[in-house]
A and B are shown apart, each in its own frame.
Chain A
Amino acid sequence: MIKAVDVSKRFGEVLAVDGVSLEIPHGTILGMIGPNGAGKTTLVRMMVGILKPTSGACYIGDKRADLLRPEERANIGYMTQQKALYPDLTARENLEFFAEAYGVRDPHRKAESIDEVAKLTHIGEYLDRPVEVLSGGTVQRLSLACTIVHGPDVIFLDEPTVGVSPGLRVEFWDYFQRLAHQGKTIVMTTHYLEEASRCDAVMMIFQGRLIAHGSPNGIISSLPLERTVSGEISTEDVPRLKQSLEGIAANEVSGNHFKLVVTNDETLFRAVRALSASGVHANNIVVRQPGLEEAFAHLVRREEQ
């Protein structure tokens, strides 16, 4: 269990994080989303324990994150936004350094761990090359490998998929989900909202404040966001369509194209049922559910008002 209790962080005049509280249960993936400068990295750094909150506290287990003893830190993995690797050393030497720094010293165990993460992140063939000659994607995979080489139970990933090709991003998600299956807790920040929707839980942060926290679907369905159903009908069916939706959902028809708009799932369901009961024959039906993007835009708008 990772916890933040009313944490704030002030840098001079700027309140980077403003009274955030949240709990992240074991074995879950939490996605932290928000625009640049929203305070995601600051919050993660406080949760990792390398930044002391101005007020409030972050906990890993029952220990305050900023007061963890060195040995207790061995259970945490932190992938920073930057690559954070030594370009002049080989991939293996980087892995060795971080493994040892985290207390993996037995040579046999160390080699085993390196092999294991290298296999997981597909960097086996690059292990003995200097990092500076590796491609961006490989470096990113190595950076992840260095984060988890010591087998931490709690993993913080600060924008792990930035600048990563779509193919590699899919691969990464594969790793994350496998790690979560192994019971690891993952906290990651991301710009990609469609990526966040794959998380078990999402928290939205804006101007340092937590504006939403919950499962992706939970957040979306809790908000009055537009769901649309559109399609084509024959022109003689238009009056019947309008009649059947009367009092249920707003609709507009132009030519033989129709679109109806609702703001919650229950109404959507009722509208679809009414539509099918009316006997109107529709083609090319598209039901559009809102995504985190809309949810976020909505919340930001509400926040700004």
Chain B
Amino acid sequence: MELVAETPYRFRIDRQGDMRVPGIVLASKALLPDASADRSLEQVVNVATLPGIVQASYAMPDMHWGYGFPIGGVAATDVAGGGVVSPGGVGFDISCGVRLLAVDLDRAELPVEQVMNGLDRAIPRGAGHGGVWSLPGRAQLERVLLGGSRYAVEQGHGVPRDLARCEDGGAIDGADPAQVSDRAVDRGLGQVGSLGSGNHFLEVQAVTEVYDEPAAQAFGLRHGQVCVMIHTGSRGLGHQICTDHVRAMDKAMAGYGISVPDRQLACAPVDSPEGRAYLGAMAAAANYARANRQLLGEAASKVFERATGRRTELVYDISHNLAKIETHEIDGQPRELCVHRKGATRALPPGHPELPDDLRAAGQPVLIPGSMGTASYVLAGIRGGGAFFSTCHGAGRVQSRHQAARSINGKELRRQLERQGIAVRGLSARGLAEEAPAAYKDVTAVIEAAVGAGLCRSVARLEPLGVVKG
């Protein structure tokens, strides 16, 4: 496949075959996928064939091989022009995302062992069910699906300020619980307020660099400050919703005259019964994910209050697996688009009307978790930001879980992390090994490329002090 270098951080795949738009890869040359082991460039091409896609099929610097869409893919379709929505363009873990809390504490004051032991007890994680919020049945779960973090705060699990610091004020409008199957509800009922497994984690971190003082101040961050980063999503409920709606669209596509090069790209027009059903269910899952992170944030805050007497404040909560109906200018005209971000983060620029007053001058906070034991970053949106105001979402995998587990033993990895001064509370040695830093790209190189490609700017760097994993 031929990649044309437009700049050091922007590569073009010209239209060919059934592509309706070009592919644009926003990465440095060193971060481009190795075609022998990773077929994500083919997936960029496949996404470019979707009906109604506009501008380009984009890939972020942390792109890697998914199924259907690449992870790190951004694609927007024109709703009025028959544009489609594809559940695979959001991913199974709908509204998987990151929540960052700032603790009113300097790292020198942190009683690490006491806090980590408290978090170890307070944070449900791993496979199966068990969350901090026990819901009695479908009726109350539906209130979570409709209200997200707003409902959690109404029920006493947080403060109103939390909602201003969460995308969409804590809940997406348009959630439709009637489009959520009983199986999805069954899977979701016992998991509100739980991390899950895989690459999800809770980390205690410290701010080690501030690159943009005014923005850091607006976000509530200062050098040396202790923070808590939570990375998780919509658990079994989101996975089941994606499963159900991919299958429904897979069967319905032919009726709309749509064929796709990979069945996991199954899609239907946004303005169709299947498209509306998915978007209603997706919004419900996104609200579940926000409530999930709200409850985990509350549980972590209580641990800090008990151990240190200090309070926490929400910096921001972002999703990196979502489709949103947004208005963008295409060929000089405002158009309603369905913007899919799969492993990509929205990054609204300074001055954007959707931002709360205290963040409007700085732009939207973007939270980028590094791989386990490495730095994480806080970024911000910029004026003229590319790919429909989107940027990367993490370090990006380069090794399969099998390869990672073969390259290092979990116990040895734990010892290495502890030698670096990082306290580890994991459930299984294998789970740790699969998330070894060597399995990921260098997050600092990813951030450099995202900034170089004109997607965002750096605000602060955070380094881990302790990690809690499933």
A binds B: no
